[in-house]
Amino acid sequence: MPNHTRKFKTLSKKLKKIEQLVNEDNYSKDEPTEDELTKVLNKRQIRFCQEYIKDLQPYRAYRAAGYTGVGYSGQCSASALFNNGKVQKYIDWLQRRKRRRNEATADNVIKELVHIAFCNIGDIAQWTASSVIFKSSEALTPAQIATIKLIRTKTHPNGTTEMYIQQHDKLTALRMLCEHLQLFGDKAPTDEEVEDAAAEIKKAADKLFNSVPISAGAS
C-alpha cells in the first residue's frame, strides 16, 4: 500500500473528528457540566481558574482573581488555592475544553481547504450561452461562500453593472492539504502528484461530509 494511501485513512479519522469538535464541545456523558463544577466555588475561585489556564501562573491568576496576598504569603495562598481539589477539577475541565477548541480551530482549516479544493463554479452561478446569473449569498451555504476569494463590481457609463467573482485556487488548496497531512513525506509533490491524490482525498471527505456535500471534481 503506497504511503500516501495510508495517510488518507488518517485523513478519514481526522475529518470525522472535525465534525465532532466543530459542532459541539464533545464532552463525555459522564463528564460534569461547567455549572456543576462552579456551583461549589465562589466568584474569586472561578476567576482564578479562568485566569490560570491563560499562562499556568498560579500567583498571577491569584492576584487577577482579586486576592490581596502579596510576596511569600501571596505565593503560599496561591499554591494552596491551586491545590484545592474543587478548584483542580474546574481547572482540568477548562483545560480539556481549551484543548478541544484549539484542535477544532486547527482542524477546521483542513475542512475549509477540502471545500475549496472540491468546489464547483456551478454551486454559485448558473449560465447560458448568452448570460451568467450569480446566486445570492442567502442561497449559498457557508462552505460555498468560503470558496470565494473576491467579488468585484464595475458600473459602466451606460448604467450596466459587471460583476466578477473569483474562487480560491483549487490546486493550491490541494497542495496545502497534501503538505499539511505529509502525504508525500518531506518531498514537495508535483502538480501531477497533487492531482492524483485528489481522488483519494475526495473519497475520504465524501464519506464524512454528509451534511455538506463536496462538489464533483477539482478540475
How far, CA to CA in Å, does 194 sit from each of 8, 73, 108, 191?
13, 61, 21, 5
Provide the whole-model pTM.
0.46
How do residues 111-163 score in pLDDT, each as one tens digit?
A: 777 777 777 777 788 888 777 888 887 888 777 777 887 888 888 888 887 87
Backbone phi and psi for residue 163, each to the nearest 5 degrees, phi listed first: -115, 140
**3-class DSSP assignment, residue 2:** coil
**3-class DSSP assignment, residue 161:** strand
pLDDT at 15 > cutoff 60: no
Answer for the pair 79, 58: CB distance below 8 angstroms, yes or no: yes
Mean pLDDT of the chain: 76
CB atoms within 10 A of CB 126: 11
**3-class DSSP assignment, residue 144:** helix
Q: Please indicate whether residue 217 or residue 17 has the higher confidence score (pLDDT).
A: 17
Q: Give the sign of the dihedral formed by CA 76, CA 78, CA 79, CA 83.
A: positive
How do residues 17-66 score in pLDDT, each as one tens digit?
A: 544 544 444 455 567 888 999 999 999 999 999 999 988 899 999 999 99
How do residues 188-198 score in pLDDT, each as one tens digit?
A: 777 787 777 77
